Structure 1
Amino acid sequence: MSPCLLRPVVRLCAMLLFAGMVSACAPTVRPAGLPIAQTVLGPDGFVAADGAALPLQSWGNLEDPDAVILGLHGMGDYANAFMELGEQVGSKGIAIYAYDQRGFGRTATRPFWAGTASLVNDASDALTLLRARYPDTPIYLLGNSMGGAVAIITAATRGHLMDGLVLVAPAVWNRNMMPWYQTAPLSILSHSLPWLPLTGRGLDIWPSDNIDMLRRLSRDPHMMSSVRVDLLAGVADIMDLARVRAGDISVPTLLLSGMQDQVIPPKAVAALDDELSSLGLPDYHHCLYSEGYHMLLRDLNGPVVIEDIRRWVTDRTDRKNYSCTIK
């Protein structure tokens, strides 16, 4: 499964390094083009500033919602990552929007990395469009896994575009926390064999305890079953920057993580929690789920996690009554 693709690089890179498979190719990045188009949030597409059409999905009350959530999906995923969230809270006064980030899902540039700036600028433009559409409604940015890293950087640099930030199992496993035998091969291979696909097959890593859901996603053609090495290196880059910029967040923030997460080490999220706790944010909570895996919104315990998000977004007076362990 795509959320497991970060760790397979350890074994594969080590083998290739010692085999001497190093050449002079550079990693491929396909960033956004020049801002030549009018940004538009249509019924099924988000037109970015360079004219790129990013598939869009939405759920819930889109006419007069009590709150709006913009979701940013994780690596290898696409907008449908928020189907469970949308179906559960959409009928409770919340509008949910999500688009396929560049290089993923149904976008024209799949399977190439778009670069951190392109991903953050897209999120900023989408938030700006939502603010124009809902000028008097609270708007929250929700980032899941890799999308959490994008969301952290967006919140740190454009906090005025949102009323709050929700981080679901954010990808904040930066290189400083990885052993050298993971970071060095990744750096070399992203410049030597950028086309090399990596998969999670053969590894005993489970992104979720919801096996039926995992089987369904394995048959979804819009999900990535493998990724290029240079895309993986790009994700490592954005995780590094997210940890650096986390200290600049100033908006209310809800951090959700699982003790059973086998993709992003709990110690990495704990380090983020320590930093966010020290910032004196106007409203900050870390929800830790003892049975939670990486795919918190789609785990068997997903409905409980989603209800905690709904409560935090819509009921400020009840924000301390969660179903998780408050850290």
Structure 2
Amino acid sequence: MSESPFTESWLSGPQATQFFTRAYSPSSPAKAAVVFVHGFAEHIARYEHVFPTWSSRGIAVFAYDQRGFGRTAQDEQHKSKSSAYGKTSWKAQLEDMEWAVQHTKQQFSDVPVFLYGHSMGGALVLAFPTRTQGPPSKEGLASISGVISTSPFILQTKPASKATRWIGGKASRLLPYFLIPAPLDTKELCHDDAVGEAYLKDPLIKNYGSLRGLSDMLDGGEKLLAKDYAQWPRQLPVLLVHGTEDQVYLGVYRLLTRN
């Protein structure tokens, strides 16, 4: 039996939340380290075909199931008492990201640390350096050497109506963690049907989101595109990757045209 390419750990993060984590360490000294932030309703095991490739090339990876998702929210044996599916917000997620960055920087203090996010995580890593108030702190932001964002959830290709958004925003103040359906067409997720089938059968993925989590995600992407991009640190490198046929999210092209 071959040795596992990663180490699993439950680590205590912000708000005394227990996070399910995986760390992929190169066999030789690391050239760089990546903190990975997954997408909506996902979990880090969905990327286990990717992370070993990075570590085999000298890049260490620290990944965690986000607050409100994956095993962090659903593992009955290890999760925090306050954890629940969809129980999240942008502020909490940004705080969690800073914790993950600082943890990784402590482990790999001699190499650059990059913040990498996909889909919902892609928007969050773009938001991370643009806050006028913490989180993150100045120290947390200074710990990263660059940002990588793939298929970021900035805008939806088929957005909800303004009336629905308005009602949802108001309701999120009264019942922030009330779950509502948030289905995703797997045909638009990937051209590989097997990936879509695995997504639908994954017991850790639920097609629901909380009112607060969804509202923050939609509002945050719009604000990032409208004004927050202007707060980007001039010396911080960023790599944006987005498919031209993406039928789920758009907006990155508009962001690229800004100063």
* Category of TM-score, reference length = shorter chain: 0.7 to 0.9
User: Partner residue of 2:12?
Assistant: 47
Gaps of 5+ in 2: 1-6, 74-82, 132-139
The aligned counterpart of 1:234 is: 216
In 2, distance between residues paired with 1:192 and 1:115?
14
Distance 1:241 1:89, change over 3 A: same
Q: What does residue 24 of structure 2 align with?
A: 59
Show CA shifts across 1:92-145 (max 9, x none). Answer: 111111101111111242323322221111111111121122111011000111
Aligned equivalent of 2:237, options 252, 262, 265: 252
Aligned Cα root-mean-square deviation (Å)? 2.6
Instruction: Report what 2:77 is aligned to.
Output: none
Q: Distance in 1 between matches of 2:186 and 2:44?
A: 27
The secondary structure found in structure 2 opposite 1:106 is helix
Deviation (angstroms), 1:183: 2.7
Structure 1 partner of 2:106? 132
Structure of higher CA gyration radius: 1
Aligned partners of 2:99, 2:175: CA distance in 1, in Å?
A: 33
What is the CA-CA distance between 1:214 and the residue it aligns to? 1.6
Structure 1 residue aligned with 2:49: 84
TM-score normalized with structure 2 length? 0.78
TM-score when scaled to structure 1? Answer: 0.63
Partners of 1:156 and 1:48 lie apart in 2 by 22
How many residue pairs were aligned? Answer: 230
Q: Is 2:248 the partner of 1:274? A: no
Q: Is the 8 A contact 2:62 2:104 kept in 1?
A: no
Amino acid at match of 1:117: K
Q: C-alpha offsets along residues 147-204 of structure 1, whole Å, 9 cap, x if unaligned?
A: 1222122223453120110001111118xx8753553343355468863531427x68
Say whether the 8 Å CA contact 1:205–1:263 is kept in structure 2.
no
Asked if structure 1 preserves the Cα contact closer than 8 Å seen for 2:42 and 2:70, the reply is yes
Q: 1:229 to 1:122 in 2, by over 3 A?
A: closer
- Report what 1:114 is aligned to: 88
In 1, distance between residues paired with 2:11 and 2:228? 26
1:215 matches 2:200: no
Give unpaired runs (5+ residues) of structure 1.
Answer: 1-41, 279-327
1:171 aligned onto 2:153: yes
Distance in 2 between the 1:62 and 1:99 partners? Answer: 21
* SS of equivalent to 2:188: coil
The aligned residue for residue 183 of structure 1 is 165
CA 1:78–1:89 in 2, change beyond 3 Å: closer, same or farther? same
Following the alignment from structure 1 to structure 2, what is the Cα–Cα distance between the partners of residues 204 and 133?
37
Matched AA of 1:99:
Y
Q: Cα distance 1:130–1:264, how it changes in 2: closer, same or farther (>3 A)?
A: same
Aligned amino acid, residue 124 of structure 2: V
Cα contact 1:45–1:99 (8 A) shared by 2:
no
Q: Distance in 1 between matches of 2:15 and 2:164?
A: 35
Structure 1: distance between partners of 2:26 and 2:123: 27
Aligned with 2:39: secondary structure? coil
Q: 1:204 to 1:115 in 2, by over 3 A?
A: closer
Match in the other structure for 1:35: none
- After superposition, give the CA deviation of every residue in 1:34-73 in whole Å (9 maximum; x if it has no partner): xxxxxxxx85123213321100012241772111111001
